[in-house]
Structure 1
Amino acid sequence: MSAYSRAYQGLTSDRPLGPGEAAQLLAELRQETGTELADAIEKQLSGKYRRTATDTDAEFRRKRRQYGAAMRVVNAVRHLAASPLRTSMPNQRTRSTS
């Protein structure tokens, strides 16, 4: 059962979810959605930056740089989706006395 299905059942069932259970369910949903999004983007990028017969070396280097930048974004999405849910905000470090 997918995280979306479990979230839907949790929201529509007669029994309310506890805060911890809801947070875990949302984290699973975020991870599943992020992974699916990253996989779809990677699939779209797979053929877009291939070398063609008309490409010069400079054009192909530009394509490789663009592909590398796009894959760094895809990997960042995967990393953010897999990271645990932060339950508290970090302390703000200010020198304000008020």
Structure 2
Amino acid sequence: MSAYSTAYQVLTRGLPLRPDEAAQLLADLRRETGEELAAAVQQELSGKYRRTPTDTDGSFRRKRRDFGASMAVVNTFRRLAAAPLRTSMPHQRNRSTS
């Protein structure tokens, strides 16, 4: 069952959730959504950076470099979506208000 289906069933049955159950449900939903979005972006990028008959070796190297940089961002997004949920904000070490 997908995380969205589980969240829908839990929210519509009218029973309260314990905080740890709610946190786990939201983490699963975030992870699943992040994976789906990253997979869609990866598929879109793979078609954009294919070698065409008019590409020179230099232009294709630039395409590969740009694809690698784009995939690094996609993989970072995947890693962030799968990261455990922080329950508290980190301590602010300076007293700046700006």
Alpha-carbon offset, residue 95 of structure 1:
5.2
Q: Where do residues 23-62 of structure 1 align in structure 2 (5 Å cutoff)? A: 23-62=23-62
Describe the superposition over 1:33-88 as per-residue Cα deviations: whole angstroms up to 9, x where unpaired: 00111111111112211111211122112111110111011101110111000111
Q: Percent identity?
A: 71
Q: TM-score, normalised by structure 2?
A: 0.90
RMSD of Structure 2 on Structure 1 (CA): 1.3
Q: Distance in 1 between matches of 2:49 and 2:63?
A: 6
Give the CA deviation at 1:14: 2.2
Aligned length: 96
Partner of residue 73, structure 1: 73
2:52 counterpart SS class: coil
Which 4+ stretches in 1 moved above 4 angstroms?
Answer: none
Separation of aligned partners in 1, 2:85 and 2:57: 44
Q: Following the alignment from structure 1 to structure 2, what is the Cα–Cα distance between the partners of residues 78 and 95? A: 33
1:19-39 per-position Cα deviation (integer Å, ceiling 9, x unaligned): 111111000000000011111
Correspondence for 1:8:
8
Secondary structure of the structure 2 residue equivalent to 1:40: helix
1:82-93 alignment to 2 at 5 Å?
A: 82-93=82-93
The TM-score normalised by the length of structure 1 is: 0.90
- The 1:56/1:87 distance shift into structure 2, 3 A limit, reads same
